[in-house]
Amino acid sequence: MVKNTVALVDCNSFYASCEKVFNPDIADKPVGILSNNDGIIVALSSELKKLGISRGAAAFKIDKRFIRKHGIRLLSSNYTLYGDMSTRVMDTLSMFTPDLEIYSIDEAFLSLRGFEHLNLTDYGRQMKKTVRQHTGLPVSVGIGSTKTLAKIANRFAKKHNFTEGVFDITNHPDRDKILRWVDVEHIWGVGRQYAKMLRRNGIINAYELTQVPDNWVQKKMTIVGLRLVKELRGISCIDLEMDIKPKKEIVSSKSFGNPVTELQDLMEATSDYCSVAVKKLRSENQVASLIIVFLSTNRFKNEPQYANYAKARLPLPSGYTPDFIHAANRILKKIYRPGYKYKKVGVMLADIMHQSKAPLDFFQPTYLDDHRKIIMDCMDSINEKMGLHKLTYASAGIKKPWQMKREQLTPSYTTSWKHIPVVKAI
């Protein structure tokens, strides 16, 4: 058996913490981050959790007096900020290992194989300190001989102050005791249905699950469940996934702040989403040849319903945004029906491949060898230097009345020169 050591680094209350970094006034205030269109709370700071508010709560249902009394701040989600802060955290973590798996926007697994001669708790503390220094964000570090145990160690570090946010469960004398402390529903990879089934069978915590015979686990929870149980026992079965797989599809779509009825507005939104999706495609040096456009009314409302989609194939794979905007608008005209209140429209790019792998055509140049690539590269670099959306497509509109509501949006502190915070020394 190959010995393995893994650290899981997870940012504490990531979205709320990003906001706090740039706004010292709310550093110890209860902060909630709202979903698209400011509807529900999607992320909370620990102070807000302590007030009994939980994820998924509807913002409008929280009493105004309660908000004032506790100084609660509810903010629109600032994904530009969170995305950029995430990149900074991951860049910092990559200093600590050559093998890093970015697991989500605020979590990464670090392989520490070959680092076992170090005091790994100290190494974890160093990670925590360095991320704090580079980004201002608090993280917790869990270390274990498998990914599943590293997850448990991370949870333990978060919930117990004496760990100071870093915990190594490898060879820990109290390992069994700690596994008993983890309820089955809190084990990484155990879904709600499996948790119920385990409880029905009298298996309440992670330790009890390690004691169940293999054949029972495999019968009840398939081979995936058996892998998980082995991981709990310290046998590494889930490898780190270091390579970013090329995306199979790219989707860009958002719900409207207010229902949209006019074809013109839908076309503007579609053009806008096309420009986002195709830019993402280019940033990975990819081209696509299939575009799908979909639109729908709000199925939760008691009003006439309509939803449809259609696709179009480009003659050759492309990374040129206008190619996609033209195709998308043609599709939209075909599937649009007047008289409905539309809630959502979106585009999806598919049949994606690397620019250099695009098939050749006798009659026209590929995207890679064409002036279209020069124009797009030029546009991307201008927008990178001068700010997002400095150069944009007229078809995406200027006023954009269809855009989603984000009334409590904080500035783009780290990605826009205009919004960079000013520090005054008095």
Question: Which parts of this chain interact with Mg ion (CB under 5 A)?
Answer: 10-11, 14, 106
Q: Cα separations (Å) of 198 from 178, 191, 205, 217, 221? A: 19, 11, 9, 10, 10
Burial of 360 (0-12, 13-18, 19+ CB in 10 A): exposed
Compare residues 10 and 47 and give the one whose CB is closer to Mg ion. Answer: 10
Compare residues 14 and 336 and give the one whose CB is closer to Mg ion. Answer: 14
Minimum CB separation of residue 150 from Mg ion in Å reads 14
Could you say which DSSP state residue 421 is in? Answer: P
Q: How far apart are CA 346 and CA 258, in angstroms?
A: 16
Compare residues 41 and 352 and give the one whose CB is closer to Mg ion. Answer: 41
The helix/strand/coil state of 238 is coil
Contact 375, 271 (CB under 8 A): no
Compare residues 14 and 324 and give the one whose CB is closer to Mg ion. Answer: 14
What region, left, alpha or beta, does residue 168 occupy, with left being phi > 0 and alpha being psi -120 to 50 degrees? beta
Structure tokens at 348: 């999806």
Phi first, then psi, for residue 357 (nearest 5°) are -100, 0
Minimum CB separation of residue 178 from Mg ion in Å reads 20
Work out the end-to-end distance of the chain between its first and last CA atoms, rounded to an integer number of angstroms: 61
Compare residues 106 and 323 and give the one whose CB is closer to Mg ion. Answer: 106
Could you say which DSSP state residue 178 is in? Answer: H
Minimum CB separation of residue 409 from Mg ion in Å reads 22
Compare residues 89 and 266 and give the one whose CB is closer to Mg ion. Answer: 89
Q: How far apart are CA 307 and CA 215, in angstroms?
A: 46
Compare residues 43 and 229 and give the one whose CB is closer to Mg ion. Answer: 43
Minimum CB separation of residue 16 from Mg ion in Å reads 10
Residue 295 forms beta bridges with which residues? 308, 345
| Token pair 């910092």 in the structure block, residue | 92
Contact 80, 13 (CB under 8 A): no
Compare residues 155 and 282 and give the one whose CB is closer to Mg ion. Answer: 155
Please provide the DSSP assignment of 305-336 as one string.
Answer: --EEEEEEEEEEEE--HHHHHHHHHHHHHHH-
Minimum CB separation of residue 364 from Mg ion in Å reads 48
Compare residues 150 and 198 and give the one whose CB is closer to Mg ion. Answer: 150
Minimum CB separation of residue 223 from Mg ion in Å reads 29
Structure tokens at 281: 């495609």
Q: How far apart are CA 75 and CA 98, in angstroms?
A: 36
Minimum CB separation of residue 83 from Mg ion in Å reads 15
Strand ordering across the sheet containing 73-76: 41-44, 31-34, 73-76
Q: Cα separations (Å) of 315 from 46, 74, 118, 312, 366? A: 53, 48, 57, 10, 10
Minimum CB separation of residue 183 from Mg ion in Å reads 19
Minimum CB separation of residue 384 from Mg ion in Å reads 29
Compare residues 9 and 316 and give the one whose CB is closer to Mg ion. Answer: 9
Biggest alpha carbon–alpha carbon distance for the chain? 71
Minimum CB separation of residue 361 from Mg ion in Å reads 47
Minimum CB separation of residue 12 from Mg ion in Å reads 6
Compare residues 11 and 260 and give the one whose CB is closer to Mg ion. Answer: 11
